[in-house]
Amino acid sequence: MKIVSVRAVPYAIPFSRPLHFASGFIDLADNVLVQVTTDDGVVGVAEAPPRPYTYGETQVSIVGVIEKLFAPAVEGLTLLDREEVRARLGRTVGNPTAKAAIDMAMWDAWGKTVGQPVHELLGGYADRLRVSHMLGFEAPEIVADQAIELRETLGITSYKIKVGRQPIDLDVAVCRAVRTAVGDDAEIYIDGNRGWTAPQAAEAVRQLEGVGLSRVEELCRADDVMGRRWLVSQCPVPFVADESAPTPADVTRELMAGAATGVSIKTARTGFSDSLRVAHLAEGLGVETVIGNQIDGQVGTACSLAFGASQAWTARNSAELSNYLDMSDDLLADPLTIIDGAMHVLPGPGLGIEIDPDKLSKYRTDV
Ligand SMILES: [Mg+2]
């Protein structure tokens, strides 16, 4: 179980349906595949998605920090040295998705080594997660049609709608159109990606009262400190911290400050080891969680699935697992599937996924 190499492989796969939201847009999955190889010949994998508008990382910076700092710090340790690895990577600030991918690739390699699914090693609670799909900026009728199509083709009945445009009327109209289209039984919630001011967000929440939102997320900036607390204090549903709370310490800070009443857990930024910390923190405090989507490819989605289904606290809400559907292709030999609005955990050892070598050769950008 000794780690002999940590490699970072950049690749690029276009999106067939680009996603627009208040803090940016994405039309290319320019991710980094991280491979952790042991002296037994086992290769664990995970992917790091660059989100410069959220974490400051780029594909080049992820490859660079892994090659120059993280790989030398990790090589020579074993797969069971996860806390030592965390401590060594923690000497460098930032770089959350690079750190998370190394952590998850180590868990994948550990699972493959002992012949057990990572989902089971983490807790193994549920055999599936209900899927929630993230809907980007479009006109109301287009977003409503997308929601209907997802329900009819995949059975999806939970939707996160991206909001935060100016003025607020367009996003309010989108939410109303989706509710009318999908009916009262479907779950709808919104994510502002800090696009509104606190007063604008408060007005939008008031106008959306009849729509029946299950939660709201990052409607204004957490740095608008008192405005954010004022907004959260009057919000009738859980107010989820996402990009404002990327570490367990940030989660504690935001919750204790009254700046959030829910937490988005993204394995893409907290891996499995710190996602466990966030989930247990939230459970101990009785705070709602949602498994968030970092606009993950299928490798990242398999990580979200393994983690989200492993804990009772995270498995009880629908999880954002389906935005790989907007990509034109992916790296997996066997694509993920959504049946009756749910994704079942993968039974194989480790993450239960296999990288297709031909697809990796086709899409990698370093050769
Ligand atoms: Mg979000």
Residue 81 has pLDDT above 90, yes or no: yes
Q: Which is the catalytic residue, given 103, 242, 288, 296?
A: 242
359 labelled catalytic? no
Neighbours of 252 (CB within 10 A): 15
Catalytic hit among 59, 162, 296, 330? 162
Q: Could you confirm whether 266 is annotated as catalytic?
A: yes
DSSP state of 349: S
Residue 253, both tokens? 């800070």
Q: Which of 294, 296, 320, 326 is catalytic?
A: 294
Rg (CA), the chain: 20
3-state secondary structure of 319: strand
Catalytic (active site) residue 99: no
* Residue 137 Cα to ligand 1 middle (Å): 14
- The yes-or-no verdict on residue 293 having pLDDT over 90 is yes
pLDDT-based confidence at residue 137 (cuts at 50, 70, 90) = very high
* Paired strand residues for 14: 28
Q: What are phi and psi of 137, to 5 degrees?
A: -65, 125
Tell me the whole-structure pTM to 2 decimals: 0.97
Which one of the listed residues 217, 218, 243, 274 is annotated catalytic? 217
Catalytic residue among 47, 57, 103, 191: 191
Residues in the 5 Å CB sphere of ion ligand 1: 191, 242
d(CA 170, CA 297): 29
> 18 preceded by cis ω (within 30°)?
no
* Residue in 309, 290, 317, 299 with CA at minimum distance from that of residue 354: 299
Distance CA 260, CA 235 (A): 10
Domains of the chain: 3-115 (3.30.390.10), 120-344 (3.20.20.120)
338-355 residue pLDDT tens = 999 999 999 999 999 999
CA dist 53 and 55 (Å) reads 6
Span 136-143, average pLDDT: 96
Verify whether residue 40 is a known catalytic residue.
no
Query: Is 2 known to be catalytic?
Result: no
The yes-or-no answer on residue 160 being catalytic is no
Averaged pLDDT, 186-204: 98
